[in-house]
Structure 1
């Protein structure tokens, strides 16, 4: 079954937001819309994948970071901000193709390395990253306290 990849178009926004809510369920649609508007005003690329009859099957977001990226030897550094593939389309190479497209976009923007992150407890995501050539650079725990 042919999968077609393209950059995010205005007509993709609704389906993109629905998929993004599946990847980031702790954000509501309004917050995701604000994130998307903010993201598109920066140096970012969103790829969309569509399957049979134009069905939306996934997306990926890449950015160019000029701030510190853990373990990176130079700046700018490409960054895989997020990748999502609908469950029925997983294990078909779609996420791998997203990363290949993102690598090309990052190279075209002067990057020699690409970073990414995931939650420490996200074992499947960690294994996916390793399977496509990433290595674990560091583990980070965030802390917070109230200031009374």
Structure 2
């Protein structure tokens, strides 16, 4: 397994995995989002390939300066998304990505790595707790058009 920063040749694999993680997004919308991440100095993405060069996972990271629940400083490194192909889960790929995220966070001067999951994402919650994240807040957000 090899983890590297996303480069242009990785784009198609990155986009396919991102669409698997966020299936309600169109290909065009996802391409726009990934291009923005790729070009941003405050964001980074990493891809994981197995020993045969097959893409098996990715993560998107950012430095957030806005409010992040539980963070003691800004900017704080934020795990914006993480994905491991189903056939590669439970093999340490996610843990390896988190170690890479922690290294990136330290390089950016952050002492914390933050993340979030939707309230009904029990697998994501279990993963985060399993790799050392501590829950700091639960919310349900509302909006009313007026």
Q: Same fold (TM over 0.5)?
A: yes
**What is the Cα deviation at residue 6 of structure 1?**
0.7
Q: Are 1:28 and 2:26 an aligned pair?
A: yes
In the TM superposition, what are the counterparts of 1:1-148 in structure 2 within 5 Å? 3-42=1-40, 43-147=42-146
**Any idea what the Cα deviations from partners look like across 1:13-61, whole Å, max 9, x if unmatched?**
0111000000000101111111112222331111101113211101011
Q: Out of 43-52 and 120-129, give the one that drifted further.
A: 43-52
Contact persistence 2:37–2:45 (CA under 8 A)? no
**TM-score, structure 2 normalization:** 0.95
**What is the Cα deviation at residue 66 of structure 1?**
1.2
Q: Which aligned segments of 4 or more residues in structure 1 are displaced greater than 3 angstroms?
A: none
**TM-score, structure 1 normalization:** 0.94
**What is the Cα deviation at residue 146 of structure 1?**
2.3
Q: CA RMSD in A?
A: 1.0
Alpha-carbon distance between aligned partners in 2 of 1:109 and 1:95, rounded to the nearest angstrom: 21
Contact persistence 2:119–2:138 (CA under 8 A)? yes
Alpha-carbon distance between aligned partners in 2 of 1:74 and 1:49, rounded to the nearest angstrom: 29
